[in-house]
Structure 1
Amino acid sequence: MTVLSTRTVEKPWGRDRLPAPFVAPEGTRIGEIWFEPPETLDQLLVKYIFTSEKLSIQNHPSDAQTEAKGQGRQGKEECWYVIDAEPGAALGIGFSEDVDAETMRAAAEDGSIEDMLVWHAVRAGDFFYIPANTVHAIGAGVSLIEVQQNSDITYRLYDYGRPRELHLDEGIAVATGTPHDPHLRFHVPARGTQRLVEGPFFVLDRLDGQPDAELRAQYTGPLLVIPREGSVTVDGEEVAPGGCALAHGIDAVRFADDGLCLVTRPC
């Protein structure tokens, strides 16, 4: 069993007060906590994100698009599971109506692209799947878990005047100028086992207590375990909320009967 090591990333837009069980060191603003992908399951990346300001409006290419450019399988599809949200917190995902490339570029250049996105007011338990090419942004006052393809290719389209590089040519070339599919967002009830993502690149389940035999049978290889309430044990070692562990099979994992846990594997 491998308890994944973490990388704590300070960001100007991060937060000095984090939701439990995390604590920001005094005088720091923590924006992200990454779990280093293990070599035996390096297709996926899990991280926590904490915001006090809006993040850039951006998108990511698909595997097919990066392969066509000779970058290998570096596409990025991702999902967000909101764990805490301040009043008024929102996520911007997709456009309110179809937008062509020329209009999108002009809106990115003058900043009006912010108002063209659909901003979803969020609360703890809200879930969103973000396909590659989707134009999106995380708003201020949000804490969430992100599970994604392990890629670092991000195209920033608009950054509220911050002095960072934009990638208009690359981003608009692959952007989907359409509304977000409503089937890809929903609220996860406080209790109950539920499948959150059914591919195409990874599966993600929220487990309430022990998984049943049918679900166990679907996990035949390595998986990542992310406790949310109550600890789990992997190969006899306890993993507490705030951690993430690699298990080489679901039979190595013992779930608390009253615990909540995220479990993910590549397809």
Structure 2
Amino acid sequence: MKLYPLKFNPVYSYRIWGGEKLKTVLNKTYEEDSIGESWEISDVDGNETTVANGDLAGKTLRQLTEQFKGDFVGNKVYEDFGTDFPLLIKFIDAKTPLSIQVHPSNELAKERHNSFGKNEMWYIMQADKDAELIVGFNQDVEKDAYVKHVENGTLTDILNIEKVERGDTFYIPTGRVHAIGAGVLLAEIQQTSNITYRIYDYNRVDAKTGEMRELHTDMAVDAIDYKFYDDYETAYEVETNASKKLVHSPYFKTNIVEINGEINRDYTNTDSFVIYMCVEGALKLECEAGIYTMNTGETILLPATTTNVKLTSSENTRVLEASL
């Protein structure tokens, strides 16, 4: 059986802060209310996505890696990660703000949870007027001062708040305090991890449980990077019918591809799977295995054996192109 570009059945997650944009803007299909996340490609235990198209329909990422090894994920990726798929791909809709939170580093996550850390990036697909994100601190902070702010309920005084609009991009390394604000729809690419330390949750009661969500203030103290940075937002260039660098980190590389006409992509020297997230417009993808379509809010995974593809669009279409 041959590998081919794979679409997956998303896993939809209820969130206290979730809205309707995954359905109304991205045309996702589900019945529940307050769906905040569409996990597009996931190897997280209990939330594994399965192939939706072709002969491999129903297979999980782990089953695909076990069967095809380096042909699926890339030889170097298979050497480094075995059957653990290294990336988690999501769309997130925040109707109300997420909790203020932080993710532990690889070392801390391994020690405490036997998990990867959670370095991630956000690409803003749509934002309501005056929508905001919290990313990092607005000054260098001492650990003791931070603890006092948490205890006094004045944490937001020292946090960096960014107004956002479509196309804004942020890399969130482990240790960086952050939160998605109300009215933001975004694409998220991250390490495969579900470890989050909540610091503050606006004293909200979850309608499903009738209780406030657990906080992890003590665990967060040792996980936080208390420095101020002046480059929280990622600067990048876009060029029509070209792939341009967006976020390159030790954990994944993401480029932005803008298509109006056609572009050929050659992955002969890319020893990795490649994931496309269509964040604007629609396109046709052609390769040796056949012809595929993608619309805004759809994701497709090219196995490592897919080395040449042609992308065609008759409108301004943007795709996030992620690999290891």
Deviates more, 1:4-13 or 1:148-157: 4-13
Q: TM-score, normalised by structure 1?
A: 0.88
Aligned match of 1:255: 311
Aligned counterpart in structure 1 of residue 300 of structure 2, from 216, 229, 245: 245
Aligned match of 2:37: 32
Q: Deviations over 1:126-155 (max 9, x none)?
A: 000011110111110100000000101100
The one-letter amino acid paired with 1:166 is L
- 1:52 paired to 2:57: no
The one-letter amino acid paired with 1:57 is I
Alpha-carbon separation, structure 1, partners of 2:264 and 2:153? 47
Unaligned runs of 5+ in 2: 43-60, 66-72, 74-84, 205-211
Alpha carbons 1:224, 1:245 under 8 Å: kept: yes
The one-letter amino acid paired with 2:27 is F
- 1:96 paired to 2:177: no
Alpha carbons 2:264, 2:310 under 8 Å: kept: no
Aligned match of 2:290: 236
Q: Which has the larger radius of gyration?
A: 2
Aligned match of 1:9: 13
- 1:224 paired to 2:275: yes
Alpha carbons 1:56, 1:159 under 8 Å: kept: yes
Give the superposed CA RMSD. Answer: 2.4
Deviates more, 1:178-187 or 1:195-204: 178-187
Aligned match of 2:69: none
Unaligned runs of 5+ in 1: none
Going from structure 1 to structure 2, the CA distance change for 1:218 and 1:79 (only over 3 Å counts) comes to: farther
User: Equivalent residue of 1:231, what SS?
Assistant: strand
Number of residue-to-residue matches in the alignment: 263
Aligned match of 1:115: 157
Q: TM-score, normalised by structure 2?
A: 0.74
1:243 CA displacement? 1.8
The one-letter amino acid paired with 1:225 is Y
Alpha-carbon separation, structure 2, partners of 1:194 and 1:114? 35
1:231 CA displacement? 2.4
The one-letter amino acid paired with 2:91 is Y
Going from structure 1 to structure 2, the CA distance change for 1:5 and 1:116 (only over 3 Å counts) comes to: same
Going from structure 1 to structure 2, the CA distance change for 1:26 and 1:8 (only over 3 Å counts) comes to: closer
| 1:81-160 paired onto structure 2 within 5 Å | 81-160=123-202
Alpha-carbon separation, structure 1, partners of 2:203 and 2:10? 31
Going from structure 1 to structure 2, the CA distance change for 1:78 and 1:206 (only over 3 Å counts) comes to: same
Alpha-carbon separation, structure 2, partners of 1:70 and 1:54? 27
1:181 CA displacement? 4.6
Alpha-carbon separation, structure 2, partners of 1:178 and 1:73? 25
Going from structure 1 to structure 2, the CA distance change for 1:20 and 1:65 (only over 3 Å counts) comes to: same
- 1:164 paired to 2:206: no
- 1:174 paired to 2:223: yes
Deviates more, 1:116-125 or 1:11-20: 11-20
Q: Deviations over 1:148-202 (max 9, x none)?
A: 0010110011111121111111111110112245065236658553211212110
Alpha-carbon separation, structure 2, partners of 1:188 and 1:52? 29
Alpha carbons 1:109, 1:158 under 8 Å: kept: no
